[in-house]
A and B are shown apart, each in its own frame.
Chain A
Amino acid sequence: QSALTQPASVSGSPGQSITISCSGTNSDVGAYNYVSWYQQYPGKAPKLIIYEVSNRPSGVSNRFSGSKSGNTASLTISGLQTEDEADYHCSSYTTSTTLVFGGGTKLTVL
């Protein structure tokens, strides 16, 4: 099972919106609505911010939103804030009954 494909880095200015893509196949992203997104600060554990493509856990800002089209999922962060600068990881359940992560995307808020 190959890792999902994410851009290595994205950047944006405070107040702007950015979108991070997560490309998979019809054996993972395209097969189920079990796509999740995690935010990770340096030296810290990941934190779940989106599950089942577009759902936010309690306490997660509504500036974070998720979507999916075919084999590609996306995370959009609107109204960028300096505190959003972190690494973002996507994951998906697969037809092999395993989970797979993307390579991670470093978000820089300029």
Chain B
Amino acid sequence: AQTVTQSQPEMSVQEAETVTLSCTYDTSENNYYLFWYKQPPSRQMILVIRQEAYKQQNATENRFSVNFQKAAKSFSLKISDSQLGDTAMYFCAFMKGGGTASKLTFGTGTRLQVTL
């Protein structure tokens, strides 16, 4: 079974600064995908970024980028130029490759507060 660990329950960052959220996972699979989801207060969960395990290049989506260290089983999220709208709960998630259904295993989340 896979496990996903987010060791930072809460974090705070000032507007325009950079923040990194940590995520580690444990799996014996070789084919898998990793995701970061964002859940703003009282709003819908949305996908922020995803990474295929077979790709060495780190994924980037505008101000969001990941540092994927496959050997260390680490998948951190970096948010550059933080904005007030980035305030949210962030979840790291793991998905095994193949199969008929894309089951996700989630971490416990990191609550990020962006301040003025």
Please indicate whether A and B come from the same complex rather than being unrelated chains. no
Q: Which residues of B contact A (CB under 8 A)?
A: none
